[in-house]
Amino acid sequence: MRMEFSLLKPRRFLALLLAAPALFAADFALKPGDRVVFYGDSITDQRLYTTFAETYAVTRFPNLNATFIHSGWGGDRVTGGGGGPVDVRLQRDVLAYRPTVMTIMLGMNDASYKAFDQSIFDTFKNGYEHIIDTVTKAEPGIRITVIEPSPFDDVTRPPQFDGGYNGTLLQYSDFIQDLGARRHLTVADLNNPVVAALQEANDIDATLAAKLIPDRVHPGPAGHLLMAEALLKAWNAPALVTSVEIDVPSGRVVRSQNTRADNFSVAGGTTGDMVSWTQVDRALPMPYDSKDKSVELAIKASDFMEALDNETLRVTGLTAPSYRLKIDDADAGTFSKEDLAGGINLATVETPMMQQALEVHALTLQHANMHNTRWRTIQVPLEKMDLPSKTAAMQALDRLDEELVQKQHAAAQPRSHRYVLGAVN
C-alpha cells in the first residue's frame, strides 16, 4: 500500500537525489568493529531510541560489525540509582565492555521535576564531569556522545509551573553543550527537534500528539523514532539508502548509487509499456511500523524521511499515464509517470527491502532483550551470591546473544530484487 502522507514532492525529492554524495560512509561516527554502550536512565532503559539507532547502523552499513550494549537503568541520575552508585554502574555496565563509543543521556531525573534549582544543578554538573573523567581515564581513546535530555512534554499539556519543566531541562542542555565544546565531545540534541515535531504534531492532531510522550516523560515508539533521528544526525548519518535513475527511451540505467542495477529491459519499444531490471542494494531503508498512527504522525510532523530515509527511484521517458511497480512479484504501488519522473521514495512503500529491514529490527530487539535478561535477572541481583551455576548461566546467555547478533548481521546482507514497471491501462 502506498503511504501518501510521507511521499516527498517530486521536485523536492529530485533536489535531494542530485545533492546526494556518491560515497557517504566515511563521515558516519561509527567505524567498523566499534563497541557502543548506550548509558542513561529509564528513557535509555526503554531500549527504543537505542535499538532504532542500532538497526539503522546495521541496515545502512551491513558490514560495519559494530557491537551494541544497552545499559540504561530506570531512575538513574549522575550519582547512580537502583543499579548502584555511579562508579559501580560505570565499571560494571560500561567499562567492562571496553567501549570505543559511549552515549550518555541523563538529566530527566537529576533536575527533580521542578523549577531550576542551582544546588541541584551543581550536583548534576559535578556528577556529569565525574562520569566523563572516569570513563576517559579508563578508556583514553573512547568517543563520547553527550545527549541533551529528551523533552518533558509541556506542549500537548500545559506546563505545571512558569517556564515548564522542559524549560529547566533546557538549562541542563546548555551545560551539556558547553561541556561537549570544552571536552571535544559529540553533542546530540534530543530535545529541541522533538519539541518542534511535537508542536507540529499537536497542530495536526492534538489527541494523537499527546501519545508521542504519553506520560510526559517516557516517549512511545514514535517519540523514540524522532529521538533516534536526532542522535543519528549528530553522528552524521547519511540520508541516502539507494538511488537509481533510469531513462526509458535510451534504454539504460543513467545512475545508480549504493546499489547495482542491471539486467535492464524495455518491452513495447521506447514507449515503455513494461520496464524491468534487477537491483542488489548495499543498504536497507529504516524500518518503522507504518500501521502505527502515532508513528505516521511523527513522520509527517518531522523531516525524518528527508533526513534519514531516501530510497530513490526515478524513471524518465515513460508515456503511459500511470504504472504499477512490482518488486519480486509483490505489488509496491501505482504511480503516475510524473511522480516517477520526479523521483519516488521507496522507503515510504511496503517493499521486500522494508520487510527485510523489519526482520533485522526484530533481531535487534531480541538480542537487546537477551542481554538485558542476563544483566538484570542474573548478573546484578545475584552478584553477591555464591552460586556455582551463575557464571555458566551468564556465559550461555552471552553465547545466545552472540548468535542473535550473527543472525541480525546475516539478515542485513544484500539480496537481489527484480523490479517490473508495467503500464496501467
The pLDDT assigned to 332 comes to 97
The pLDDT assigned to 271 comes to 53
The pLDDT assigned to 269 comes to 55
The pLDDT assigned to 4 comes to 31
Q: Which residue has the cell 559501580?
A: 88
The pLDDT assigned to 251 comes to 87
Contact present, 169 and 147 (Cβ < 8 Å): no
Q: Would you state the CATH architecture of domain 26-234?
A: 3-Layer(aba) Sandwich (3.40)
pTM over 0.85: yes
Rounded (10°) angle between helices 86-93 and 118-138: 30
Which residues pair with residue 275 across a beta bridge? 266, 421
Q: Which of 308, 288, 300 is nearest to 204 (CA)?
A: 300
Helix or strand holding residue 103 (H, E)? strand 101-105
Q: How far is CA 376 from the centre of its chain?
A: 25
What's the angle, vertex CA 299, arms to CA 298 and CA 303, rounded to 5?
115
Q: Which of 134, 123, 144 is nearest to 79 (CA)?
A: 123
| Cell numbers standing for residue 87 | 562508579
Measured distance CA(174)–CA(160) in Å, rounded: 22
Q: Which of 190, 173, 201 is nearest to 225 (CA)?
A: 190
The pLDDT assigned to 151 comes to 98
Which residues, including other chains, have CB under 8 Å from residue 90's CB and lie 6 or more apart?
A: 131, 134, 135
The tally of CA atoms less than 13 A away on the side-chain side of residue 374 is 22
Measured distance CA(30)–CA(353) in Å, rounded: 23
The pLDDT assigned to 273 comes to 84
Measured distance CA(259)–CA(279) in Å, rounded: 7
Per-residue pLDDT of the chain in tens (425 residues, 90 and over written 9): 233 333 333 444 444 433 333 344 679 999 999 999 999 999 999 999 999 999 999 999 999 999 999 999 999 999 999 999 999 999 999 999 999 999 999 999 999 999 999 999 999 999 999 999 999 999 999 999 999 999 999 999 999 999 999 999 999 999 999 999 999 999 999 999 999 999 999 999 999 999 999 999 999 999 999 999 999 999 999 999 999 999 999 888 999 999 999 999 998 755 568 999 999 999 999 999 989 999 999 999 999 999 999 999 999 999 999 999 999 999 999 999 999 999 999 999 999 999 999 999 999 999 999 999 999 999 999 999 999 999 999 999 999 999 999 999 999 999 999 999 999 97
Contact present, 3 and 285 (Cβ < 8 Å): no
Contact present, 24 and 237 (Cβ < 8 Å): no
The pLDDT assigned to 425 comes to 79
The pLDDT assigned to 17 comes to 39
Measured distance CA(83)–CA(173) in Å, rounded: 24
Contact present, 302 and 296 (Cβ < 8 Å): no
| Buried b / exposed e along 12-51 (16+ C-beta atoms within 10 A) | ebbebbeebeeebbeebbbeeebbbbbbbbbbbbbbbbbb
The pLDDT assigned to 283 comes to 98
List where CATH 3.40.50.1110 sits in the chain: 26-234
The pLDDT assigned to 188 comes to 98
